[in-house]
Chain A
Amino acid sequence: MPLASYQTSVPVVVDDAKCIADKGCTVCVDVCPLDVLRISDMTNKAYMAYDECWYCMPCEADCPTGAVTVNIPYLLR
C-alpha cells in the first residue's frame, strides 16, 4: 500500500539562535525518553523529528542554553 505523510504541529520548539548543536551539543537528543529529537543535517540544530512526545520536559530542563520550549500539544490544549 502506498504511504502518505500526515501533517501535525509538534509541541517541542527549538530556538535555532540559541541551540549549539553545531558545536557538538546533543543533550536534548540524549535525554528524551521517547527518542523523538534529532539534530538536523541541514541546519545542524536540534528539532523534533517524530510526533511521539510525552510532554515530560527533560529536553527543556537539561538544555544548557535554554533553547528548547515544550508546549502542550495542540489537541489537548
Chain B
Amino acid sequence: MALDQIVDGLSEVSCDVLVIGGGTAGPMAALKAKLKNPKANVVLLEKANVKRSGAISMGMDGLNNAVIPGYATPEQYTKEITIANDGIVDQKAVYKYAQNCYSIIEELDSFGIRFLKNENGDYAVKKVHHIGTYVLPMPNGETVKKALYRQLRRARILISNRYMATRLLKSTDGRIAGAISVNTRTAEMLVIKAKSVILCMGAAGRLGLPTSGYMFGTYENAANSGDGYSMAYHAGAALANLECYQINPLIKDYNGPACAYVAGPFGAFTANNEGYRFIECDYWSGQMMLEFYNELLSGKGPVFLQLKHLHPDTISEIESTLHKVERPTRGLFQQGRGVDYRSESIEMHISEIGFCSGHSASGVFVDHNARTTVPGLYAAGDMASVPHNYMLGAFTNGSVAGIDAMEFADNHDFAEFDAADVASERDRVMAPTKREDGIPPNQIEYKTRRLVNDYLQPPKVTRKYELGMRRLAEAREDMQERMIARNAHELLRALEVQSIMDCADMAVHASLYREESRWGLYHWRTDFPEKDNENWFCHTLLSKQDGKMTSEKRAVEPYIVPIADEEKDLYDKQRIRATA
C-alpha cells in the first residue's frame, strides 16, 4: 500500500473509561482508573505512541514543584502559587495537589524512578521559587516513560496508538458519551463510546511560531496542537483564563530552557549583557517574563544564563543533566555552536506564545476533582486549569481524575449520542481529502501562526487584536473551503490546523474580554495598563453558547490559605533595583 494511503472506514468500540492523551497525566489517569476497578475496561488513546509521547518523551530533569515534608508544607505551596498567579486561583485544587503529590512521588519511586537524595537519605530539594523550596532533581530522569509503560502493561490497560481524537460526543441531556478519533496513518475513523472521558492532551504548543523557522521547533512537544482545548470548547465545556498565555525564557534559537531550574541551585543566574542580575528570582512567572522582555528591549540585553563563574566540576555536573535528559539535543546544539559553559554564558530569548497550565494558569476549567463543567468529562495535566502543574501536577491530578472518572463510570450507564453527530464529524474530518485542488495544511498553519505572532504576542494592543481577528477569519475561511490533504499524514496535519485556529480565536476572545493588565507579560494590555482588582479580580470562563464564543466572569473561591496584604505583590517585585 502506498505511503499513508487514505482508507475510508468507520468502526465503533466501547469502554468504561476513555483516557485521551498518553503523555504524562494520561498514563497515570488510566492506571488509577483501572486499579480502582480492575474489572472495568480502560482505553488509553494516543495520537503518537505511548512509549515515547508527550512532554516527557525522553525524560525529565526534575520535579519543579514537589511539596516534601520537612522542606515545604501544602499551605506554603498554595500561598506561593496564589501569589505567583496574581491571586486568581481556586486554592482547593492547588491545596489538594500539594497534599497528594508526596504520595505520588513515593509511588513513582516504587516504579523505579529515582529522585536526588542527600547523605542522610532525605530528598535533596532545591530552591528556585521566590519564597519556598520545591525543586527535586531526578538522576535517572530518562527512565520515566519506560517505568510508566511497564505499569500500564502490567495493569492491562488497552492502548490505542496513532489515533487522534477530534471531537467529543454527548447525549441530549448534556452528559459525556464518548469521542470520535481518526487513525493518523490510514484516516479510518473510530468512535469510542465511554461512560466517562478524561482529556490529557497536553498544552496548546503550536499556537505561536518559533523564530527558528521550524513550525515543529516548538517548546512544547509539537504533537500537542491544542486539540484538547478545541474539543472541550466544541463540547460546551468552559475554559478558564485563556488570556493568561504561556511564554518561556529559552535558549536563543533552541526550543529548550537554558535552564535556571537545573543550574540555579548550583549558583547560576539570569544576567544582562553587563553581567548583572536584573531579576530577583528565576522561577517562571508572567512578572519575571515581563522583566526579561523589558531587559531585552532596554539596550541592556541580550539576556544570558550565566554559569562561567562556577567551578568546572560543578559545570560538568550541570552538563550531565542538561545534555542527557529531557532535551538531549540541547548538548548537540551548544556543541555545534562551540559554546562552552566554562567560558561563555548561554544566550536566551523569549518563546512563542501558547496555552499551558503546566507552566502558566489557563486551561479547560476543572474543580479539585478534575471535573470539567460537562458531566462525566474530566481534564488533567497541561490542558486543565490547575495552575503551575508541571510534571508532578500532571501525575497527581491525572490520578485524581482517574479515580473520580471510574467512580462516575461505575455509577452511570452509557449515554446515548445522536448518530448525526458522528456523520457530520466524518464530513468535517474527511473534507480536505475530497478536494482535488487547494491549499496544503502546512501553508494554512504557517499563515495562522504567523498571524498569531504578528498580532497576538504581548504587549496586547486592542487595535492589533481586532486586525488579527479579521485576518484569522480569512485564514479560517481558506481552511474550511480550500484546504487539501492528499494522504493520511497530511490529514493529521489538516486536523491539527483546525485546533490551532480554534485556539487562536479563543486567545483573541479571552484577551479582549479582560480589560486590565495582569500576570506580567502574559496579559499586558497597553490600552488597560493597570491591574484592576475592583473589576477584574476574577476568573474568566470562555465557552460556546448557542454556537457562539462567549466569555463571562467567575468569582475566585474564598481562600483556604489566607494571604496577607504585604505578601500579595511579592511576585510584582521581581526587578532588582540597583544592579551596580
Contacts and interface: CB of A to CB of B under 8 A. Distances in A.
Q: Do A and B come from one complex?
A: yes
A62 B52 contact: yes
Given A31-B49, A56-B57, A73 B214 contact: yes
Nearest to A52: B216
B212 A31 contact: no
Contacts, number: 90
Given A70-B329, A75-B214, A76-B333, A34 B3 contact: no
B57 A33 contact: yes
Contacts of A41: 3
Interface in B29-58: 48-49, 51-54, 57-58
B57 A35 contact: no
Contact of B222 (A3, A34, A49, A58): A34
Bin the interface of chain A by size: 20 to 34
Contact of B57 (A53, A58, A70): A58
A24 B49 CA distance: 18
A33 to B, nearest CB: 4
With most chain B CB atoms within 10 A of its CB, the pick from A3, A34, A35, A62 is A35
Contact of A35 (B333, B439, B492): B492
A53 B440 CA distance: 18
Given A3-B440, A49-B3, A75-B212, A35 B221 contact: no
B161 to A, nearest CB: 8
A49 B489 CA distance: 10
Contacts of A55: 217, 255, 329
Contacts of A71: 332
Nearest to B328: A57
A15 interface: no
Given A33-B221, A34-B216, A1 B438 contact: yes
B330 to A, nearest CB: 10
A21 interface: no
Interface string A45-68: 000011011111110011000000
A72 interface: yes
Contact of A76 (B51, B217, B221, B327): B217
A56 B332 contact: no
B315 interface: no
B184 interface: yes
Given A31-B51, A55-B217, A56-B57, A72 B333 contact: yes
A5 to B, nearest CB: 10
Nearest to A38: B3
A20 B156 CA distance: 30
Contacts of B162: 35
A33 B53 contact: yes
Interface string B222-257: 110000000000000000000000000000011100
Interface string B320-359: 0000000111001100110000000000000000000000
Contacts of B253: 76
Given A32-B48, A72-B336, A58 B58 contact: yes
Main secondary structure on chain B at its contact with chain A?
loop
A23 interface: no
B426 interface: no
Given A3-B440, A50-B489, A72-B336, A34 B48 contact: yes
A56 B184 contact: no
Contact of A53 (B52, B53, B216): B216
Interface in B190-232: 212-218, 221-223
Given A55-B329, A57-B58, A76-B213, A1 B437 contact: yes
A58 B58 CA distance: 7
Interface of B: 3, 48-49, 51-54, 57-58, 162, 184-185, 212-218, 221-223, 253-255, 327-329, 332-333, 336-337, 437-440, 489, 492-493
Given A34-B222, A35-B492, A53-B214, 15 more contacts: A1-B439, A31-B52, A33-B53, A35-B184, A35-B185, A49-B3, A54-B218, A56-B327, A57-B58, A58-B57, A61-B328, A70-B329, A72-B336, A77-B333, A77-B337
29 contacts: A1-B437, A3-B440, A30-B49, A32-B52, A33-B52, A33-B54, A38-B3, A49-B489, A52-B215, A52-B216, A54-B216, A54-B218, A54-B221, A54-B223, A56-B221, A56-B329, A58-B57, A58-B58, A70-B332, A71-B332, A72-B329, A72-B336, A73-B217, A75-B212, A75-B213, A76-B213, A76-B214, A76-B254, A77-B336
